[in-house]
Amino acid sequence: MSSVEHSDAEYVDSVVATDLPDELFTPREGNLVVSVKCRLSLANTLSEYQPVITSAANSEFINVDIQFADISSVCTFAMKFPGQVEVVAPDAARVAVLTSVSSTMSNMSGSQPQQAIN
């Protein structure tokens, strides 16, 4: 925009709520299913991702399957919960997350990330 233009449009200072579905992400056939090991304390927070609990890893961790629209959303998800989740499978998702984290860490401080969950 190189200049300011005057508009005769009516000014509105209120926002009209639109109808949103109950779920912001609707699982569909063909979505990427990712196996994730996460802290049990994170289970309620992960409910928005509609996880399917596959097993209890131990008293601190559970294993869940979560559907994602694409591989980049897996990376975003993993980086939202540093040290609390570990992408277990598929290998392509693990590699994508490690690459994304490594890139972010090197951009921030030149260091390499350590394994999040032992």
- For the chain, give the secondary structure using H, E and C: CCCCCCCCCCCCCCCCCCCCCCCCCCCCCCCEEEEEEEEHHHHHHHHHHCCEEEEECCCCEEEEEEEECCHHHHHHHHHHCCCCEEEEECHHHHHHHHHHHHHHHHHHHCCCCCCCCC
Number of structural domains, the chain? Answer: 1
User: 11 lies in a domain?
Assistant: no
User: 51 lies in a domain?
Assistant: yes
- Give the span between the Cα atoms of 33 and 95, in whole angstroms: 15
User: 21 lies in a domain?
Assistant: no
Q: What pLDDT score does 118 carry?
A: 47
Q: Which domain holds residue 75?
A: 32-108
Report mean pLDDT in 10-residue bins for the chain, 118 residues: 69 59 61 91 87 84 92 90 92 92 75 53
Residues 86, 117: contact at Cβ < 8 Å? yes
In 10 A of CB 97, how many CB atoms? 23
Q: What pLDDT score does 117 carry?
A: 56
User: 7 lies in a domain?
Assistant: no
- Give the span between the Cα atoms of 70 and 100, in whole angstroms: 14
User: 5 lies in a domain?
Assistant: no
